[in-house]
Amino acid sequence: MVARERNINYIIDDAILIHDNKVVAGVSAKKAETRIESVKRALFSMPGQVEEIQEVLKRDKPESILILGTSDDMVEKIVKNIGLPPIDETVYIEDVSTPEQIAIARSVRMSEGKHVIPVPTFEIKKDFSGYLLDPLQIFKWKGKGTAPYVTEKSIIRPTFSYLGNFIISDNVIRTIAYKVAMDMEGVYKVQRVKADSYSNGIVIYIDVILEYGYMLRDLMKEYKEKTRKEIDRLTAMNVLDIQIVAKGLHIPE
């Protein structure tokens, strides 16, 4: 809202550069494995960070940028490290949020380890595959005659939160694929499930035995879509692809 009211189309937050709700440069500091690394990333003090941001700023030449930080000192360091002009205006959280809102935000951060990134979930899901990721939709109306403010942000729980690191086993993916098959007519048996993990998501390979008498292409497409949906819902993993092979047909006696 602060950016919108000042006609600012670029935001720097959490080590990423955002333009019109899209990440155009950088990798979120919340992907760091430790708090210390996260702070270094947020300050743009890691190798290779500054060059990428500067290249985009040089290309787009934005008139203004909103920089989010937890202190004046942090924002000043970001400005210095990136090589931006002096700060023109400072807006504090107390100027735009009530004490009650601030207290709730602080409580959720401390007790649940949740953080907010100001971009839609689909924009960063590939970067946060396997993290606990939820959309946060915001709708605000400031008064009669004004346009409503509608936006979507993303809530994540980084690995450096109080929960520590966590891993989703391949066996979980396998069990979900089996369960979806059990609940579907036409899929007789799942023979094999294999998941290959990459930095931005997983690719799943499934071998199945199908029931005779069904339109096979339609059946495999339906099973693929339902499996992808369940894995997404239960694990927050970014499914890059699901490859299904029909290895045989089951013909009732």
pLDDT higher at 111 or 250? 250
- Please, how many CA atoms are within 13 Å of residue 231, restricted to the half-sphere of its CB? 31
Residue 243 — pLDDT band, cuts 50, 70, 90? very high
Which DSSP symbol is given to 84?
P
pLDDT higher at 16 or 30? 16
* Mean pLDDT across 89-108: 89
- pLDDT number for residue 162: 46
pLDDT higher at 47 or 140? 47
Look at strands 10-13 and 16-19 and give their pairing: antiparallel
Alpha-carbon Rg for the chain in angstroms: 23
Q: Kindly report the backbone phi and psi dihedral angles of residue 168, in degrees, each rounded to the nearest multiple of 5, phi listed first.
A: -100, 115
What is each CA distance from 60 to 25, 57, 217, in whole angstroms? 12, 5, 46
Evaluate if residue 220 carries a pLDDT over 80.
Answer: yes
| Domains of the chain listed by start with CATH number | 2-111 (no CATH), 170-250 (3.30.70.1350)
Mean pLDDT, rounded, of the chain: 81
Q: Kindly report the backbone phi and psi dihedral angles of residue 68, in degrees, each rounded to the nearest multiple of 5, phi listed first.
A: -95, 135
Rounded Cα gap, residues 243 and 207, in angstroms: 9
